[in-house]
Amino acid sequence: MSSHRRGRFAGLQGATALALVLACGPAVAQELSASSFAADFKVMSTLKPLVAKGKGKVAVLLPETTTSARYTSFDAPYLKKAFAAAGLPARDLIITNAQGSESSELTQAQTAISQGATVLVMDPISSGVGASIETYAKEHNVPVIDYDRLTLGGSRGYYVSFDNVEVGKLIGQGMEQCLTDWNVKEPKILVMRGAPTDNNATLFAQGYMDVLKPGFDSGKYTNVGEPAGTWDPATARTTFEEQFTAHPNINAVVVPNDDNANAVISYLKTLKVPPKTFPTTGQDATLTGMQNVLTGYQCGSVYKAIYLEAQAAAALSLYLRAGEEPPAALVNGKTADTSANTEVPSVLLTPLWVTTKNMGATVVKDGFVPRAKLCAGSAMSKACAAAGIK
């Protein structure tokens, strides 16, 4: 079930949990589940008893702003809002951004602990620095939550993210639907991946290959190749150009995020490839990605509502800060750390596949992609109108 289809139920669950707290008192914070969170942040108020019980500060370590503006535009403000809604004093919340420097992220973790942090929420720049931070935190008896990206070989206690295999499955399913909708004959698909150093990229690929493999095995589709992965758009474009030169019969490409997809699409446009003839996929529901979807160059994109992830991380950290075991309904899954041969208790949230049909009701409604920017200019204004985005 997608995060937004589920969202209608999440609002009800959040309201139910809040009513139970008001009726029954502090202990009912245990009713919180991974599906309780909604855009209004109201369910966070059920955690006020945990805040009162807990001690110390919560430190959030964000990785960078170079490849994604999400951390400053969405994660940081949503995290602040989530903790504030739960009643955590602003003085007890530390949020830093390492700006892509592994040494800075380690230093920020050490500084936060010296300043009284009793829980770390960390999105590691790499598994190497993540493991170093987790080792340091363990030596100081500070629990760590991996946020959005798992630290391979780490020693964290929990992981909060969207279900990344499900993200990949949505990409694969989106490709299959697009092949049908755009009437692509004898699909010859190039399969691209994210950086091999990113465990999320591995999980995404697992998901879309689970969907596409039966078609490859049966001969319904042809797998033209699976080149080395990257998150760098310029490298992705070069890789695609090389593959397309070597295999000019490619007529579809699985791409794991919108930035890389846009790099591929930019090249296809130089070749005068018409809209709705050459399917590409994506993830992150970026402004450019949504415009490529509206104009028929991208099938869709995976939207991960960051306000859900921020609330889940805040809630889990407040249980740990209070020294309480988080409820099983909140920690609803496990994620394999293949480097440490362990299963990490996880809060896994549900992503959503966005197309022209639901763009207005999801990313635009949430303010994730501003309508004014999305629909700027005559061509995009017409595309928005055709998709019912007003």
**Three-class SS state of 325:** coil
Beta bridge partners of 348: 161
Q: Are 370 and 389 in contact (CB under 8 A)?
A: no
Closest CA to 147 of 101, 205, 78, 86: 78
CA distances from 121 to 198, 296, 371 (A): 18, 39, 32
Residues 278 and 309 in one domain: no
Structure tokens at 177: 């639907």
Write the CA distances from 159 to 120, 124, 299, integer angstroms.
12, 12, 30
Q: Distance (Å, rounded) from C-alpha 233 to C-alpha 265?
A: 11
The model's pLDDT over 303-350, given as tens digits with 9 standing for 90+, comes to: 999 999 999 999 999 999 999 999 999 999 999 998 999 999 999 999
Q: What pLDDT is recorded for position 10?
A: 39
Domain around 223 = 164-303+353-386
Residues 346 and 334 in one domain: yes
Strands of the sheet with 57-62, listed across from one edge: 93-97, 57-62, 117-122, 144-147, 158-162, 342-349, 333-337
Rounded alpha-carbon distances, angstroms, from residue 231 to 67, 283, 360: 8, 12, 27
Q: Give 62's pLDDT tier (boundaries 50, 70, 90).
A: very high
Please state which of the ranges 14-23, 211-220, 222-231 shows the lowest mean pLDDT. Answer: 14-23
How much is the pLDDT for 30?
52
Percent pLDDT > 90 in the chain is 88
Here the CATH number for the domain that contains residue 87 is 3.40.50.2300
- Average pLDDT over every residue of 226-250: 97
Helix (H, G, I), strand (E, B) or coil at 15: helix
Given a cut of 50, is residue 7 above it in pLDDT? no
E strand residue ranges, the chain = 57-62, 93-97, 117-122, 144-147, 158-162, 188-191, 222-225, 252-254, 301-303, 333-337, 342-349, 352-354
Question: Is the domain of 209 the same as that of 358?
Answer: yes
Q: What pLDDT sits at residue 8?
A: 33
* Same structural domain, 232 and 372: yes
Tell whether the model's pLDDT for residue 19 goes beyond 90.
no
Q: What's the structural domain count of the chain?
A: 2
Q: Are 325 and 368 in a shared domain?
A: no
Q: 207: helix, coil or strand?
A: helix
Residues 211 and 358 grouped into a single domain = yes
Cα separation of 150 and 119, whole Å?
17
The length of the chain in residues reads 390
pLDDT in tens, 353-384: 999 999 999 999 999 999 999 999 999 999 99
Q: What is the predicted pLDDT for the residue at 200?
A: 87
The mean pLDDT of the chain is: 92
CA separation for the pair 294, 298 (Å, rounded): 8
For residues 244 and 378, membership in a common domain is answered with yes
Question: 220 — alpha (psi -120 to 50), left (phi > 0) or beta?
Answer: alpha
Name residues whose C-beta falls within 8 Å of residue 261's C-beta, 6 or more positions apart in sequence: 255, 280, 281, 282, 289, 292, 298, 301
Residues 199 and 107 in one domain: no
Q: Average of pLDDT values for 185-193?
A: 98
Same domain, 148 and 228: no
Round to whole Å and give the CA distance between 104 and 106: 5
DSSP 35-101: T---TT-GGGGGGHHHHHH--SEEEEEE--SSS-THIIIIIHHHHHHHHHHTT--GGGEEEEE-TT-
Residues 126 and 247 in one domain: no
Residue 11 pLDDT more than 70?
Answer: no
Using one digit for the tens of pLDDT, what is the confidence trace for 103-116? 999 999 999 999 99
Is 65 found in the same domain as 186?
no
Q: Give the mean pLDDT of 233-253.
A: 98
Residues 10 and 147 placed together within one structural domain of the fold: yes
- Whole-number Å distance between alpha carbons of 156 and 145: 6
> Are 299 and 355 spatial neighbours (Cβ–Cβ below 8 Å)?
yes
